[in-house]
Amino acid sequence: MARRLPPEMNAKAVQPAYEKWQAVAIGMSRDEVVAILGDPIKDDCHPTNSPYLNYGYIQVPSCPHPRTYTFLIGLNGNGRVFTKIDPFSGRFSVDGTPSQPELIIPADGQVFSHYPRVLDIRWHPVSGVYPVTYSVELGWFPFPTLDGAPSETEFHNELVATELVGPYFVQAFVGASPGRVRVKAHNERGESQWSAYRHFRFTV
């Protein structure tokens, strides 16, 4: 379990009750949505005449846009729900522990040919009790030895980051070789399962 960070360093989370959020269905009227979730949040990002109803957000301190990750209900011209958007890609915690993270980038099997070997790692925020922190594990194949021995066939893994409050990390990769990455989340209730691995390769 990650140690507590100062409040100003943590992501701010305003969330609807998950079971109520999941009860809202496509085709419902605005009144039906409000009966389940209550009145939407009023803020500058979504004024009262917006076709989107705002029911929460995850606000990461270092994220350039304050409302990147939101709970939005979209209404069509007839005032009926046509879309639901949540920060968690539809993965909801059932007991407050973090849900399993899902990586966004790198794409699985992606090949990079740029140098320096800067690896951009991003994932969907996890659901659960906030504050939440993340750990990132990076794996790589070792280089051949000077006597010409072949590389090993197993990845060497290292925990390259812990206590991250945002769902992103940048890391310089070790060499022109295959690699893999995965992410785990932590909160006061416990920790998530590791995300699925994403495999990639640098050619230079």
> Which pLDDT tens digit goes with each residue over 85-134?
999 988 999 999 999 999 999 999 999 999 999 999 999 999 999 999 99
- Among 28, 54, 85, the domain boundary falls at 85
Domain count, the chain: 2
Q: Is residue 98 part of a domain?
A: no
Asked, for residue 2, whether it belongs to a domain, the answer is no
pLDDT at residue number 138: 95
Q: Is 180 a domain residue?
A: yes
Q: Maximum Cα–Cα distance for the chain, whole Å? A: 73
CB within 8 Å of 146: residues ≥ 6 apart = none
pTM of the predicted model, to two decimals?
Answer: 0.84
23 assigned to some structural domain: yes
User: What is the predicted pLDDT for the residue at 1?
Assistant: 40
pLDDT number for residue 16: 96
pLDDT at position 2 is 42
Q: What is the structure's pLDDT at 31? A: 96
The total of other beta-carbon atoms located within 10 Å of residue 194's CB is: 14
The confidence score (pLDDT) of residue 169 equals 95
Q: Are residues 67 and 27 in the same domain?
A: yes
CATH number of the domain residue 73 falls in: 3.30.1450
Mark whether 107 and 76 lie in a shared domain. Answer: no
Among residues 181, 177, 17, the alpha carbon closest in space to that of 93 is found at 17
Q: Is 96 within a domain?
A: no
Q: How far apart are CA 88 and CA 187, in angstroms?
A: 16
CATH number for the domain spanning 175: value is: 2.60.40.10
- Spans of the chain, pLDDT less than 50: 1-3, 145, 149-150
* Same domain flag for 108 and 196: yes
Evaluate whether residue 166 is within a structural domain. Answer: yes
Do both 45 and 78 map to the same domain? yes
Same domain membership, residue 110 and residue 183 = yes
Based on the domain organization, do 107 and 161 belong to the same domain?
yes
Query: Which residue range is the domain that position 22 belongs to?
Result: 7-85
Whether residue 130 is found in the same domain as residue 77: no
DSSP letter (8 states) at residue 35: H
Scan for tokens 């419902």, then name that residue: 28
pLDDT attached to residue 147: 52
